[in-house]
Chain A
Amino acid sequence: MLDGILGVIDNLGNIFTLYNLAILVLGVVGGIILGALPGVSPTLAVALLVPFTFYMNPASGLILLGAVYTASVAGGAISAILINVPGAPANIATLIDGYPMARSGKAESALYTCFISSFIGGIFGMIIMVLFTLPLAEFALKFHSTEIFWVAILGLTVVAGLGTGNMIKALISGAFGVWLSTIGSNPVTGEFRFIFHNVLTGGIYIIPALIGLFAIPQVFSLVESYGAQRAIFQFRREKGILGKTFIQVVKMFKVQTIGSIVGAIIGLIPGVGGQVAGIVSYDQVRKFSKYPDKFGTGIPDGVAAAESANNAMVGPSLVPLLTLSVPGSPTAAVLLGGLLIHGIFPGPDLFRLHPSVVHTFIGSLVLAQVGMCVFGIMISRYSNWVVKVPDLYMAASIVILATFGTYCVQNSFDDVIVMFGLGTLMYIGSKFGFSALPVVMGVILGGIAENSFLKGLLIAGAGKGLLSHFFTGPINVIIVLMCAASIGYGIYSGRKGERKKMQVKKRDAVVSAVILMSTILVYSSMKAKDPLTPIFPAATLIIMGSLSLLLLILALASMMAKREPTDVSPIRFPFPRIVVTGLLIIGYLSVLNILGFYFTAFVFYLVFTSIVALDREVIFSRLRNRILTSVLFVVILVMLFKMLLKVQTPAGLAF
């Protein structure tokens, strides 16, 4: 065990050459920036850099990949905190408290919390990885389909407590997300489902869904709040925030411990890993907290819980790759390519035959954690630049970044359409008390749950039968009990102090009726040849339908009781501005392919920032500044997406 650590220390010499250190710094800074772009997940960032390592020596190549992996995981938190759009699925939990902090002028402190917690979690994960490599590998292999199915279900039970409002609505949103994940081809039976339009053939991918569900409602809400006074403009940068935040973070001993342990354990589970580590840890920290009600209002504990977990996941997630040669996560699969290209075959022999390579790699990951923390803090100092961007400029930037971020994931314009469609639906839903987080959790976990359920079903059918296959084995039993505990806690806290959360409003009657009707319509449209294909979507739709029926009954009952409605305030809605925003986005999408992505972005940016205010004075005043800002924005876009990421956008008439 200890020789692992000694080995790493011995090989630090390999890293401390000028060239390698330069690569490490470049990888860390680049990784943070790439990670912060919505859509550029750690997997994509690493995949894009693997070809560069073709021409490097093994040590430098590994340092680059390790640095980019580590840094991009933490970088995703920047956009979550500053613009309420997570850079990657791993960062969804970060925005729950991170964005409220930024909105109230504490962006810098939130980012410092994020990077310091990432560092603590990351180092913890590395230590666990080095000390317990082989037992961890054996443990990871014990997760079969049934165990993974239960882990996904456990993740879904967290959904009930997410979001800001009615628990039934959170569950409906979660079920909707799970249903979204079943669109497209079923990987087990090969059959296609719910292809209402050709753009859906490839199914709904996590990242376009993630961007749409968070970014588009954010665009509309920025347009809504345009003109309102914001705290940030009165805000002056305090001296010594870093020191204060540092002391605050170090004092959160319990939060960091829970976050790191949860992250390290979940990181090991093949296929589930990083995407849910943050949210599960957030949920646990909240449940064990003395002030669970404050979570979601902008407290640093929430940011720390999410970020310590998603970096603690990095080390353990590499264990199956390094010891068994089987990557446990998409990012690890990409790293495998990076190792193979240098003739390094991971597996049991790796530690024996190439100990210095492994130790250099691990050493570079550890140093990358340090670099990530240092450079992350340096970058955070400029966060106020982003926070101070006026609302309309920010809204226009988000529309364009969301488009590019979605497109670059799989070079698909269909995904861009799906992203905007889902986002618009989410915005409407948010007006009726539905929130994006449960939907995203459903999309992420639904696919994992269905897949592992069907595989388990096939194996059970050939073996010992369904019940005994899914409910025996120590890990299954433990996770099932945890699911039960999680549901029990939800019901308990629902009864205890969160009565308010169950409150039903009159307009819910209409919403729930609409949802119920659509659910029935979709259900009746299902047809399949293989009996396995409809099981999961049917169950999901039945749950969704029952929940909306329950909501309908509650809403009707409260109308019957003629209770005074507590929400006398009508929905705040600057109708003309929202309509103009919607029309501009539709216009933008329809000329995107014809004129070329970058030119359209320029026109959209200029037009959007000029006319959405619907104020004649705004249109003509400082026009030159707006043109320049638009040019500058597009130039940055070109540099990032065309030159750095080499995204090939369709050639239009312009560029």
Chain B
Amino acid sequence: MKRNAYMLTALSLVLAVCVLLGFTTVARAEYPDKPIKLTVSYNPGGATDFQARIVTMMSQKYLGQPIVIINKPGAGGLVGWNWFVTDALKDGYDLVAYNMPHFIAQSIVFPKKAKYNIRNMEPIANWGADPAVLVVPKDSPFNSVKDLVDYAKKNPGKVTFSGAGKFVGHHIALLQLEKAAGIKTTYVPHTGGVPALIAVIGGEVMAGFNNTSDAFRSKDRLKILAVADLERNSFVPDVPTIKEAGYDVDDTSNNFRGVAAPQGTPPAVIQKLADTFVKMYKAKQVTGKMEQTGCGIKVIPRDQLKEVWKKREAYLKEVLKELVQE
């Protein structure tokens, strides 16, 4: 027993010293002098999480400190973003990944539940864009957006559409199409883009809006009818935009991803982050990995991003007016 106790003492002391060494960091004057946390409001392994890990992989080189990803998922992103605007540190060591239009749409639809909006978050820089594409099963009778719209006009409410959830880009794309074409359809929200895509491939729904990257990978089992963007997409260059197909739908539904800081972060810190992130996104290693995985890159610096946020909010307020909840 006695020998055991000594062994235990020695072992504990050695380990305790190792651990304490791990905790102490030498203080440096300049920001950042410790790792920066980036909160992702979705599950590990999801598209946002995955891309956030890629675009921050060079931070040691560009910022001198690693960026650690923290996942706080729940209620379609609401939990993580709420936490961020209420509890995050305002010293530049807490950043968040945003998904637009999701976070803006939620701030409009849930004015009480969502504590965030474009005014209490500071844009740093946008890294990517994933436009929504209109997909139908391979054996579908629809070969163009017009076929689908004509059918929907004759059969109001009969065309079923899948998408990644309520009030996300896919849902907004459908709302826009309904408005532009004057049709009525049934939207079937799924829990994420992949289940929504399975529903189209398996023929459970008649059509769907989904991520370009995911639809592109399944193109053998789908027909991609149109892309909800201002210009054609390099992954599917033959597919027309919805606008080309004759319906006035812009890129509001395009899923933009980027980084933001909490309001109240020192301006000098924000500026440094805004400059560094743009450079970091454009690093060869980052763009290489992004292209390899089929994620669209769209770098928007801070000043332009502010305008994009404002424009989106104004437009979404219009589209979502009737869906606002208490």
Tell me whether A410 and B57 are in contact in the complex, defined as CB-CB below 8 angstroms, given that A325-B217, A333-B45 are known contacts: no
Near A by CB (< 8 A), chain B positions 1-40 give 5, 8-9, 11-12, 15-16, 18-19, 22-23, 37
B71, B158, B187, B191: the one within 8 Å of A411 (CB):
B71
State in angstroms the CA–CA spacing of A192 and B45 once bound together.
26
Say which one of B124-132, B255-263, B269-277, B286-294 lies at the interface with A: B286-294
- Given pairs A201-B79, A411-B71, A631-B15, 19 additional interface contacts (CB within 8 A): A47-B49, A50-B53, A141-B198, A144-B204, A185-B78, A187-B189, A190-B166, A201-B74, A270-B195, A270-B198, A325-B217, A325-B218, A410-B74, A412-B74, A412-B83, A451-B191, A461-B157, A463-B160, A648-B68
The answer to whether B232 has its CB under 8 Å from any CB of chain A is no
| A residues less than 8 Å from B204 (CB atoms) | 144-145, 459
Q: Which of A43, A145, A201, A461 is within 8 Å of B113, CB to CB?
A: A201
Nearest Cβ on chain B to A534's Cβ, whole angstroms:
15
Contact A347 B220 (CB under 8 A): yes
A336 to B78, CA, bound (A): 25
Task: Check if A227 is an interface residue, CB within 8 A of chain B.
Answer: no
* Contact with B189, one of A190, A270, A461 (Cβ below 8 angstroms): A190
Q: Are B12 and A326 in contact (CB under 8 A)?
A: no
Of A44, A50, A320, A458, most B-chain CB atoms within 10 Å:
A458
Q: Are B43 and A330 in contact (CB under 8 A)?
A: yes
Set of chain B residues within 8 Å of A76, measured between Cβ atoms = none
| A-B interface, 3 closest residue pairs, ranked by CB to CB distance from nearest | A202-B74, A334-B45, A190-B166
B197 contacts the other chain (CB 8 A): yes
Contact A643 to B293, CB < 8 A, known contacts A203-B74, A462-B160: no
CB–CB B79/A337 < 8 A: no
Q: Does B202 contact A (CB under 8 A)?
A: yes
Bound Cα distance from A455 to B186, whole angstroms: 11
CA–CA, A189 to B186, complex, Å? Answer: 12
Q: Which residues of A contact B76 (CB under 8 A)?
A: 185, 187, 190
Would A632 and B12 be within 8 Å (CB), given that A142-B202, A187-B166, A341-B293 are in contact? yes
B70 near A: Cβ within 8 Å?
yes
Given A345-B217, A629-B8, answer yes or no on A337-B50 (Cβ-Cβ < 8 Å).
yes
Inter-chain contact A330/B23, CB cutoff 8 Å: no
**Residues in A whose Cβ lies below 8 Å from that of B157:** 461-462
Within the complex, the shortest CB–CB distance from A36 to chain B, in Å, comes to 19
A629 CA / B12 CA spacing, docked (Å): 8
Given contacts A625-B5, A643-B22, contact A648 B37 (CB under 8 A): yes
- Contact partner, A47, options B16, B44, B167, Cβ 8 Å: B44
Residues of B within 8 A of A635 (CB): 12, 15-16, 18-19
Chain A residues within 8 Å of B159, by CB: 462
Residues of A within 8 A of B79 (CB): 201-202, 410, 412
Q: Given A462-B158, A625-B5, A50–B201 Cβ distance below 8 Å?
A: no
Residue of A nearest to B44 (CB): A47
A150 to B262, CA, bound (A): 45
**Least distance between A527 CB and chain B CB atoms (Å):** 10
**How far in angstroms is the closest Cβ of chain B from A275?**
15
Per-residue CB contact flags for chain A residues 335-349 toward chain B (1 = under 8 Å, else 0) read: 011001111011111
Q: Is the CB of A410 within 8 A of B289?
A: no
Is B266 an interface residue when CB atoms closer than 8 A count as contact? Answer: no
Given contacts A325-B218, A459-B160, A655-B23, contact A340 B292 (CB under 8 A): yes
* Nearest-Cβ distance from residue B219 to partner chain A, whole angstroms: 9
Using Cβ atoms and an 8 Å threshold, which residues of chain B touch A327? 194
Distance of A455 Cα from B202 Cα, bound (Å): 14
Q: State the interface size on chain A (CB cutoff 8 A).
A: 71
Chain B residues near A201: list those with CB within 8 A: 74-75, 78-79, 82, 113
Tell whether A529 is near chain B: CB-to-CB under 8 Å.
yes
Within 8 A of B (CB), among A481-540: 529
- Tell me the chain A residues, 174-215 only, with Cβ under 8 Å from chain B: 184-185, 187-192, 201-203, 205
Q: Which residues of A contact B11 (CB under 8 A)?
A: 632
| CB pair B186 A462 closer than 8 Å | yes
Q: Residue-by-residue, is A444-464 near B (CB-CB < 8 Å gives 1, otherwise 0)?
A: 000000010001001101110
When distances are taken between beta carbons in the complex, the residues of chain B under 8 Å from A347 are 217-218, 220
B78 proximity list for chain A (CB < 8 A): 185, 201-202
* Cβ contact of B9, chosen from A145, A326, A412, A628, cutoff 8 A: A628
CB nearest neighbor in A for B93: A651
**Interfacial residues, chain A to chain B (CB-CB below 8 A):** 43-44, 46-48, 50-51, 54, 141-145, 184-185, 187-192, 201-203, 205, 270-271, 320, 324-327, 330, 333-334, 336-337, 340-343, 345-349, 410-412, 451, 455, 458-459, 461-463, 529, 624-625, 628-629, 631-632, 635, 638-639, 642-643, 646, 648, 655
Contact A324 to B218, CB < 8 A, known contacts A330-B43, A333-B45, A410-B74: yes
Is B73 engaged at the interface, CB distance under 8 Å to the other chain? Answer: yes
Q: How far is the CA of A48 from the CA of B189 in the complex (A)?
A: 29
A463 to B159, CA, bound (A): 9
Task: Give me 8 A-to-B residue pairs in the complex whose CB atoms sit less than 8 angstroms apart, sorted by A's number.
Answer: A144-B199, A184-B75, A333-B45, A337-B50, A345-B294, A346-B217, A410-B71, A410-B79
On B, residues with C-beta under 8 Å from A are: 5, 8-9, 11-12, 15-16, 18-19, 22-23, 37, 43-46, 49-50, 53-54, 57, 68, 70-76, 78-79, 82-83, 109-110, 113, 157-160, 165-167, 186-191, 194-195, 197-199, 201-202, 204-205, 214, 217-218, 220-221, 289, 292-294, 325
Among B110, B159, B194, B218, the one with the most A-chain Cβ atoms within 10 Å of its Cβ is B194
A637 to chain B, nearest CB (A): 10
Cross-chain contact A628 with B5 (CB below 8 angstroms): yes
Contacts of A337 in B (CB 8 A): 45, 50, 293
In the bound complex, residues from chain B placing their C-beta under 8 Å from that of A325 are: 214, 217-218
A351 nearest CB across to chain B (Å): 13
In the assembled complex, the Cα of A567 lies from the Cα of B187 at a distance in Å of 56
A residues less than 8 Å from B187 (CB atoms): 458
* A142, A187, A327, A642 pick with most chain B CB within 10 angstroms: A187
Among A189, A202, A643, the most chain B Cβ lie within 10 Å of the Cβ of A202
CB distance from A342 to the nearest CB of B (A): 8
Closest to A415 in B: B74
**By the criterion CB–CB under 8 Å, are A51 and B199 in contact?**
no
A326 to B202, CA, bound (A): 11
Are A188's CB and B74's CB within 8 A? no
- Closest Cβ–Cβ distance, residue B141 to chain A (whole Å): 15
A320 and B18 alpha carbons, distance in the complex (Å)? 45
Contacts of A191 in B (CB 8 A): 325
Q: For the complex, what is the distance from the CA of A145 to the CA of B189, rounded to whole Å?
A: 12
A627 to B, closest residue via Cβ? B12
- CB-defined contacts of B167 to chain A, threshold 8 Å: 190
Give Cα distance in the complex from A458 to B160, angstroms.
Answer: 8
B188 cross-chain contacts in A, Cβ below 8 A? 188, 455, 458-459
Distance A334 CA – B37 CA, assembled complex (angstroms):
21
State whether A628 touches B12 (Cβ < 8 A): yes
CB nearest to A646 among chain B residues? B68
Q: For the complex, what is the distance from the CA of A333 to the CA of B194, rounded to whole Å?
A: 9
> Do B205 and A43 have beta carbons less than 8 Å apart?
no
Quote the shortest CB–CB distance from A551 to chain B (angstroms).
Answer: 34
Known contacts A270-B195, A648-B37; A48/B292 CB under 8 A: no
Q: Contact check: which of A48, A202, A341 meets B75 at CB < 8 Å?
A: A202
> What separation, in Å, do the CA atoms of A67 and B149 have in the docked complex?
49
> Which of chain A's residues have a CB closer than 8 A to the CB of B74?
184, 201-203, 205, 410, 412
Determine the distance from Cα of A254 to Cα of B34 in the docked complex, in whole angstroms: 58
Closest Cβ of chain B: how far from A322's Cβ, in Å? 12
Contacts of B113 in A (CB 8 A): 192, 201
Which residues of A lie under 8 Å from residue B202 when comparing CB positions? 141-144
Closest to A409 in B: B71
- Report the Cα distance A62→B316, complex, angstroms: 42
Contacts of A143 in B (CB 8 A): 202
**Shortest distance in angstroms between A532's beta carbon and chain B's nearest beta carbon?**
11
Contact status A458-B186, CB under 8 Å? yes
Contact A632 B70, CB 8 Å, known A191-B325, A462-B157: no
